[in-house]
Amino acid sequence: MWLDSLSQELVNRFWRQCGEVESFPRNLEPLVSLALPAKLVKLPHLELQGIEGWLTKRGPSFLFNCRSRAVRGCLIAYGGQGLIFIDENDPEDERRFTVAHEIGHFIADYLLVREDAIAKFGDPITEVFDGRRQPSVAERVHSLLAGAPLGVFTNLMERDQTAGLELWEIEDRADRIAMALLAPPEEVLLQSDTSLSGFQWRLKAMVNILHEYFGLPAPVASPYAWSLLEDIGRGASWAETFRPR
């Protein structure tokens, strides 16, 4: 299965909270605040120092524990709410995927963990998640808190980061949720001709569909198409895998 059942449920939950499913190509920007306790912020030439300045002007003081650099996107979450920053100067297809990717992180790596802990321990556990007190012995030993994002949760989508299914687990899940939001596997397969002879022809045709119909950027479309074709048994044959390109 290309998307695990929990991630699929998170995707379904997003659309339920929107009240309707958007047509293609999807623009999730106006839907962020509708479906989530989050706000989208677009800044020109997005960099960490600019995000810090934006936050300082509005009250909360926050500093990244690193030197300032340009990023494609950034998620900051605290107190059950989130801010998704994107570079407004990026091309539309890049912004589209950045928003979807950060939504994936927010719902899977922050909200879901927080909600599961509240269901187990009750509302007082939010004091731990928000860094306002240390966890008790019982809370510390519980698996829900193992690796949980305590205090301010951040995620950065780097300028040199290309989305791909070979990324580490947490990024892989955010990528898959993002692609399922923007181009659900079943819809991609419905629009694509997977009967074409030759893997390179099938791959090229699907990449074109992902770019032109679903509006995904090329660095995302290519690994996604490759993965989907592999998943349905229409990937490269042994001979094609070792054929010089």
pLDDT at 23: 92
pTM reported for the whole predicted model: 0.89
Q: Where is pLDDT greater, at 207 or 1?
A: 207
Query: Mutual orientation of helices 169-182 and 218-231 as an angle, nearest 10°?
Result: 90
Across 182-202, average pLDDT: 94
Kindly give the pairing relationship between strand 38-43 and strand 71-78: unpaired
Band the pLDDT of 242: cuts 50, 70, 90: low
Could you give the CA distance from residue 42 to residue 46 in angstroms, rounded to a whole number?
8
| Phi, psi torsion values for 155, nearest 5 degrees | -145, 135
- Mean pLDDT of all residues in the chain? 88
Band the pLDDT of 166: cuts 50, 70, 90: very low
Q: Is the pLDDT of residue 183 over 50?
A: yes
Query: Mutual orientation of helices 92-105 and 169-182 as an angle, nearest 10°?
Result: 120
Q: What is the 3-state secondary structure (H, E, C) of the chain?
A: CCCCHHHHHHHHHHHHHHCCCCCCCCCCHHHHHHHCCEEEEEECCCEHHHHHHHHHHCCCCCCCCCCCCEEEEEEEEECCEEEEEEECCCCHHHHHHHHHHHHHHHHHHHHHHHHHHHHHHCHHHHHHHCCCCCCCHHHHHCHHHCCCCCCCEEEEEECCCCCCCCCCHHHHHHHHHHHHHHCCHHHHHHHCCCCCCCHHHHHHHHHHHHHHCCCCCHHHHHHHHHHHHHHCCCCCCHHHHCCCC
pLDDT at 120: 82
Amino acid identity for residue 58 in this structure = R
pLDDT tens digit sequence for 134-149: 877 777 666 566 666 7
Residues in CB range of 216: below 8 A, 6 or more apart: 93, 96, 97, 179, 182, 183, 210, 224
pLDDT tens digit sequence for 38-95: 999 999 999 999 999 999 998 777 888 888 899 999 999 999 999 999 999 999 999 9
Q: Is the pLDDT of residue 162 over 70?
A: no
Dihedral angle of Cα 186, 191, 192, 193, to the nearest 10 degrees: 120
Q: Where is pLDDT greater, at 97 or 129?
A: 97
Could you give the CA distance from residue 216 to residue 96 in angstroms, rounded to a whole number?
8
pLDDT at 143: 58
pLDDT at 1: 67
pLDDT tens digit sequence for 2-20: 789 999 999 999 999 999 8
Joined tokens for residue 87: 């570079």
Could you give the CA distance from residue 81 to residue 202 in angstroms, rounded to a whole number?
42
Q: Is the pLDDT of residue 191 over 70?
A: yes
pLDDT at 165: 45
In whole angstroms, how far apart are CA 100 and each of 34, 162, 207? 14, 14, 19
pLDDT cut 90: percent of the chain above it: 62
pLDDT tens digit sequence for 215-231: 999 999 999 999 999 99
Q: Is the pLDDT of residue 177 over 70?
A: yes
